[in-house]
Structure 1
Amino acid sequence: MDNLLILVTHVRLFYKISISLCGTSNDTGPVEMHLENGQGGAMVLPSNSSDRSDRSDKPMDQKVLRRLAQNREAARKSRLRKKAYVQQLESSKLKLASLEQELQKARQQGIFISSSGDQTHAMSGNGAMTFDLEYSRWQEEQNKQINELRTAVNAHASDSDLRLIVDGIMAHYDEIFRLKGIAAKADVFHILSGMWKTPAERCFLWLGGFRSSELLKLLVNQLEPLTEQQLMGLSNLQQSSQQAEDALSQGMEALQQSLAETLAGSLGPSGSSGNVANYMGQMAMAMGKLGTLENFLRQADNLRQQTLHQMQRILTIRQAARALLAIHDYFSRLRALSSLWLARPRE
């Protein structure tokens, strides 16, 4: 519902700006010549009446005829664009009315929209809320599996019994990555922001999850003794994870920079949105760039998933069991830290 309210606000603002711009347009002005520049934009060269008068006595050669034909074609296309734009405004007006009706209906049904615009509560079918519920159930199941694993480790269960439990936990991790992929298609910002995690966990958040390289550093001290081959394997895995994380981080920084430049390009001299057609074009480009966020999140989750499975292959079954217990205890302590922080005495 938060997305719906924001969309209504933007559509209403866009419609008002567009009407005001259309009201100041004049079809009877001088014909303009449009040339495509090197960046895909349009350069407008106003016609010069004095030049035309100077050339009136000269025979019209092929170059002049071609230029006049280009002017007429540009004027025709301009009229067509304006006609299409007016139709778009009418369509936007109808869409705005429809969205306002939906918003009013939602308010009548008692749906609460936070004033900060961060979350929408009590809204069935919402992708973010659906994932939050799925994640809560996932955590409950994980706690059961971890308790089973802890009991088996303390009871010195056989390797075959431990393997069944460890494989079940690894499959359970695969499930959360699958659920995150589905949720990202519905609301990638919700997953990237980590709003489904506790505040302390969000302090260490990287692209919607944990850093594999940092987790491996924490585990090495918990898994001793390790053979030289295992130490080398974990070291290589840690380095490769770090390199992949750095590449993804650089990609995200480049995306953010490109997005900022695209949005700034649609601003007029006074800081407001200038030409409406240019504004819409820039916003369309920004939307296209935002579409790559889902790809970054998917790559980050693939890295996390592959790191966990590679770690399992390097370790013995008992070491893998201890590693999974350590991972779970680490994140449990982060969640406990959040609870203690929120419950702290305030003066």
Structure 2
Amino acid sequence: MSSNGPITIANNNNSDDSAASLESFLVGWLQRQERFLDELISAQAEDCDESEREDLIARVLAHYQQYYEEKSRLGRQNIFLLFAPPWFTPFERAFFWIAGFNPDLAFRLVSDSIHDLTEEQSHSIDKLRKEIRMEEKMLNDDMARIQERVAAPPIMEMARRFGRMLEVDIVEDVSVNDGLRSEMEALVANADSLRASTAAKMVEILSSSQNVRFLTAATKLQLRIRSWGLERERNKQETTK
């Protein structure tokens, strides 16, 4: 394919199947997330064993990793879907940064949910925040360069226009090549890696009891945003009847 040639959307049946597969995966994943929330709340009890907390923390982090792996699999089929994923509501997507939550959210959650940080912990978190913001800026610059180099419309606009155009094999009016597709895949992979590493490093700084509160806050927020998004969509459907 030439550098100015059309983008080839992944085989329509494969893309459709992949999107449906992730939607189905997400339903089960969120159900498990709700069960994890119950466990996290129970683990805040004073009589909870330390080893039980550590085991729960590891299982919660592994659960997030499962989502990233499934998301990566779909990204190899149709990267545009990850920038405007139809399995999330518009309200949920409003919180997204490069196909997912901004890593900086972890620091806000810690600030809101943990009030017994030691001086050493506070210093470590401040240092981590500076590191993460530098990496965020680098990724933002990467995304801007991708768009500028090919004179492409904003990535979110491309995603909305073509992420779900699964009934055609070729979209003729988008000047984007396989190299750009690979760069977008790398961009999402690096953003997901930053999200995961931010959480992992935060967990290393916090104690087990603090981690339980941190993960409880993160899980509650995610499920709350999901609930609000679905409620908004139901209200829209009711008003259009």
Q: TM-score range by the shorter chain?
A: 0.7 to 0.9
The secondary structure found in structure 1 opposite 2:232 is helix
Does the aligned pair in 1 maintain the 2:37–2:220 contact within 8 Å? no
Identity of aligned residues (%): 23
- Whether contact under 8 Å (1:234, 1:311) holds in the other structure is yes
Q: Are the counterparts in 2 of residues 162 and 317 from structure 1 also a CA contact under 8 Å? A: yes
For the 8 Å contact 2:89–2:233, the answer to whether it is kept is no
Partner of 1:224: 115
Large movers: runs of 4+ above 6 Å? none
| CA drift at 1:318 | 0.4
Q: CA deviation at 1:261?
A: 6.4
Q: 2:30 aligns with which of 123, 130, 139?
A: 139
- 1:1-347, aligned counterparts within 5 Å? 126-154=17-45, 156-260=47-151, 283=175, 286-344=177-235, 346=239
Q: Distance in 2 between matches of 1:261 and 1:306?
A: 30
The alignment's TM-score, normalised by the length of structure 2, stands at 0.78
Q: Evaluate the alpha carbon distance shift between residue 161 and residue 261 of structure 1 in structure 2; reply closer, same or farther with a 3 A threshold.
A: closer
User: Shift of residue 346 of structure 1?
Assistant: 4.1
The structure number with the bigger radius of gyration is 1
- Alpha carbons of 1:196 and 1:155: their partners in 2 closer, same or farther (altered >3 Å)? farther
In structure 2, relative to structure 1, the CA distance for the partners of 1:214 and 1:186 (3 Å cut) is same
RMSD over aligned CA atoms reads 2.7
Number of residue pairs matched by the alignment: 210
TM-score by structure 1 length?
A: 0.55
Instruction: Give the letter aligned to residue 180 of structure 2.
Output: K
Task: Tell me how far 1:214 sits from its aligned partner.
Answer: 2.8
The alpha-carbon deviation at position 322 of structure 1 amounts to 0.5
- Structure with the bigger RCO (C-alpha within 8 Å, sep 6+) is 2
* 1:89-137: CA deviation from partner (whole Å, max 9, x where unpaired): xxxxxxxxxxxxx99xxxxxxxxxxxxxxxx9xx897211111211222
User: 1: CA distance between counterparts of 2:94 and 2:121?
Assistant: 30
1:142-201 deviations in Å (ceiling 9; x for gaps)? 221221221222363111111111111111111111111111101111112232222221
In the alignment, is the contact (CA less than 8 A) between 1:213 and 1:238 conserved in 2?
yes
